[in-house]
Amino acid sequence: MGGDPLDPNDWNDPANWQVAGATAANAPTGADDVLFSGSLGSDVNCTTPGGGYSLAVNSLTIDSTYSGTLTANNELDIGAGGLNMAGGDIEQPTAQDIDCSGDFNWSAGDLNANSTFLADVNLSGGGTFSLRLTKDDKTGDNIKLLKGYTGVFY
């Protein structure tokens, strides 16, 4: 992974993430189900480009074999497919929010452990927030359950 030698962590480089278990041909779009998985060879850090515009995906999955970091320098809009986080880290160092309109299932990994309280994770659209952490995963973030969202904590 990390196909661009000038910026091996670039979000826009399709070698840095997967769609449904296969290497993508283009940068992610709002229709894509993005997967970060160490078992698929994509265990590389990935950084969104910044620049003040939003990025959109249908879903974002970080599986338990991924040990890298997704650094979100852009607002990230996650659609009805939701956010499934079972490993790795997500950092939002430039105060850009993550908006999720599907379910958010968080079972492992860190959320803004090194970028505390700079940005929010906004959950809306009637989904469910499921928190099932089994070790010392941490967040330095505000997680907001907005209208229609429910929470399940284990």
CB 141 within 8 A of CB 111: yes
pLDDT digits (tens, 9 = 90+) for 126-139: 777 777 655 555 55
Torsion sign across C-alpha atoms 13, 111, 50, 9: negative
pLDDT digits (tens, 9 = 90+) for 45-80: 788 887 778 889 999 999 999 888 888 888 899 999
Who has greater pLDDT, 22 or 65? Answer: 65
pLDDT digits (tens, 9 = 90+) for 84-105: 999 988 888 887 888 888 888 8
Please give the torsion angle defined by the CA atoms of residues 108, 42, 73 and 57, in that order, rounded to the nearest 10 degrees.
-80
- Write down the domain spans for the chain: 14-153
Closest residue by Cα to residue 121 from 138, 108, 137, 104: 104
Considering the entire predicted model, what is its pTM? 0.81
Instruction: Quote the pLDDT of residue 2.
Output: 46
Instruction: Quote the pLDDT of residue 60.
Output: 93
Average pLDDT over residues 109-136: 72
The yes-or-no verdict on residue 117 having pLDDT over 70 is: no
- DSSP string for 106-126: EEEEEESSSSTTSSEEEE-SS
H or E element that contains 55: strand 55-62
CB 103 within 8 A of CB 124: no
135 Cβ neighbours under 8 A, 6+ residues apart: 108
Who has greater pLDDT, 62 or 111? Answer: 62
| Count of all residues that appear for the chain in the document | 154
Instruction: Quote the pLDDT of residue 16.
Output: 74
Cα separation, 11 vs 124, in Å, equals: 25
